[in-house]
Structure 1
Amino acid sequence: MSADNRITLVLRPREGETLDSLQFYAQLGAPVSVGRALGVIAALCEGDAIEQLLDTGLCANIEDHMRAAADARRYRWLRDVAWDTPRQDLALRDRHQNMLSDSDLDAEIDRAMQAYPCVTAQEPQT
């Protein structure tokens, strides 16, 4: 089973209840129904393993995540598509007018980020 074919669910009790009645059924291979979908328990951990792994300093709100995903889509388009279009004016070039693609583009961006580290810092949105 591939990693992209799994999800992690964290259960908590409803107000005024406990999860004690669920523990008997929470076994590897046991079926789990969520809405109309059915899955199977592939891993089990007592306690809140997710909370322990969570580093609040690394957490971002959903807007930051959406912006990062949009930036990644734009970058992938530049890296994988723009240089291969009939319009060569879209191709990214270095200062010697050599076309940059794939690892060359990655290396050039990495060099620029090292040369100008203050530019990569997140600026507050207005």
Structure 2
Amino acid sequence: MRHIYYFVGSTLLVGATYALVGCDRAGSAPSVSSSTTEASVSGTVSIKGKPATKGEVTFDPSNSSRRDAGARTAPIGPDGSYKVVTLVGGNIVRVSTPETTKDSVLQFNETTLDVQSGENKLDIVLPKP
């Protein structure tokens, strides 16, 4: 029974550490914008030098000024491409594919993008160089 308590305690400690420290966000938090203007982002996803062939890319524009802004998700095409419409300003970007769910190094793959009005391009390379 003691082992269960140690396991639960360790799991909570690791979760709290991630919550406090955060994942890699390129050294800075996304910009805080209250804009509700939308813009498009397109690009490709490659994993270990090859195009991702399935999965999804999620852009999360929520921040302290737009807490109710929902995440926007786009499917990854067979050629590794995606296209999504999201809110202008800082977005946290995450990739979920069969490869990322199986690889502990690739699971935490957040990056940020300051989306500008109009067309934006973001090619995602995992693992990060």
What is the TM-score of this pair, normalised by structure 2? Answer: 0.23
> Comparing both structures, which one devotes a greater share of its residues to strand?
2
Higher-RCO chain (CA-CA 8 Å, sequence separation at least 6): 2
TM-score normalized by structure 1?
Answer: 0.23
Over alpha carbons, which structure has the higher Rg? 1
